[in-house]
Amino acid sequence: MEMLINGFRERFGGEPETIMRAPGRVNLIGEHTDYNDGFVLPVAIDRDIMVASRRRDDGLARIFSFDPDILVEFPMDDIEYDSENRWSNYSRGVARHLQEAGHNLSGMEAAFLGNVPRGAGLSSSAALEVSMAMSFEKVSGLEIDPVEMALICQKAENEFVGVNCGIMDQFISRMGRRDNALLLDCRSLEFEQVPLNLEGIKIVVCNTGVQRGLVDSEYNERRSECERGVKILEELLPGIKALRDVDISDFHKYKNHLPEITERRCEYVIEENNRVLESVQLLEEGDLVGFGILMNESHIGLRDEYEVSCPELDTMVTIAWSTEGVIGSRMTGAGFGGCTVTLVQEDAVEELIRKVNKEYPEITGLQPEIYICTAEDGAGVVE
């Protein structure tokens, strides 16, 4: 915080008007379901991006990043993609799309700093988009509907940054609530806070250190496979619009009409949607053991049917599964690297950390990072 404010003073002189934060997220269950009109169950975590900002009346945005140590400037009425300072495209994108949605933004000077690891599948980009959108909202004296803001941030990522993500990450970063997971219906955008009664249990996130290299092309390929499945199933099940509408027993009846790969992809998504709904019920009943089993099944589906895991993620999950006191463990986020999420009894956390630090490098040659996370509020003002 001190570093952020000092950086702002150094670059812009004087004091920031406001400090906004937006968190990264870890998805507990419901992977690759958001772009299938399905259900997700993420939590906002205690790692975030903070933006110190002040209004400008000359129609300019000046954005300072600590790492890399660079200041960019752009006119609010003519916002172009910056292929040199790619990090700045998140700010440019939200500024442009907020305005295209009809919001009258002022200029702004801002410095940002964060501790969401980048490229680790914890949605540092959504955190940056949402924290910037919140800052533009504030300095411009606006009040933007939070769901609309999440949608605009997603649009900025899809159309300006050029990443074809679903709505989960921006939504949870904006709407998360402390001690809760968020059940989101990605079709209607109706949502429900689901209390996490985690007494004696910790959420442990393990970073494989593998940056999600393949992710863009593979991610888009999975999306197309799902769309192809819907196209074929539509003929047999009139009225379905997405995999979300397909009942698992209908799927079994008709799945032999699908190419083999499409079949496996679709089966995973339909089952994962069911797992999310079942998870919410189990969490409401306080059945964490049952929930942990669903987390494990989710990983197996992602590994074997959807095929978005990788050896490092599988190794990390296997280490967790073999640790006494672990309730459930799975890869989280898009896959092909990044992090796993594990629920573990508090008194077994130390042993889990010990095993991961010893066994993971032995098997993979890579150094893991471990974050013990809490479920925190979504974006807001830092008092």
The footprint of ligand GLA (CB under 6 A) covers 31-32, 34-35, 165-166, 168-169, 333-334
- The least distance separating ligand GLA from the CB of residue 105, rounded to whole angstroms, comes to 25
Using DSSP, state whether 186 is helix, strand or coil.
coil
Of 169, 250, 304, 377, catalytic:
169
Give 209 or 333: the residue with its C-beta nearer to ligand GLA: 333
- The least distance separating ligand GLA from the CB of residue 219, rounded to whole angstroms, comes to 7
- Among candidates 166, 146, 140, 144, which has minimal Cα distance to 155? 166
Count of other CB atoms within 10 angstroms of residue 383: 4
- Among candidates 147, 232, 159, which has minimal Cα distance to 190? 147
347 tagged catalytic: no
Using DSSP, state whether 184 is helix, strand or coil.
strand
Give 63 or 331: the residue with its C-beta nearer to ligand GLA: 331
- Show the tokens assigned to 63: 């954005």
**Strand pairing partners for 51?**
20, 112
Q: How far apart are CA 258 and CA 256, in angstroms?
A: 5
* Residue 102 falls in which region: left (phi positive, over 0), alpha (psi -120 to 50) or beta: left
What radius of gyration do the chain's Cα atoms show? 21
Give 206 or 352: the residue with its C-beta nearer to ligand GLA: 206
Give 151 or 165: the residue with its C-beta nearer to ligand GLA: 165
Give 328 or 333: the residue with its C-beta nearer to ligand GLA: 333
DSSP β-ladder status, 107-114 and 60-65: parallel
Instruction: Return the H-helix or E-strand segment holding 374.
Output: none
Q: Residue 173 is which amino acid?
A: S
DSSP annotation of 323 reads S
Give me the active site residues, please: 169
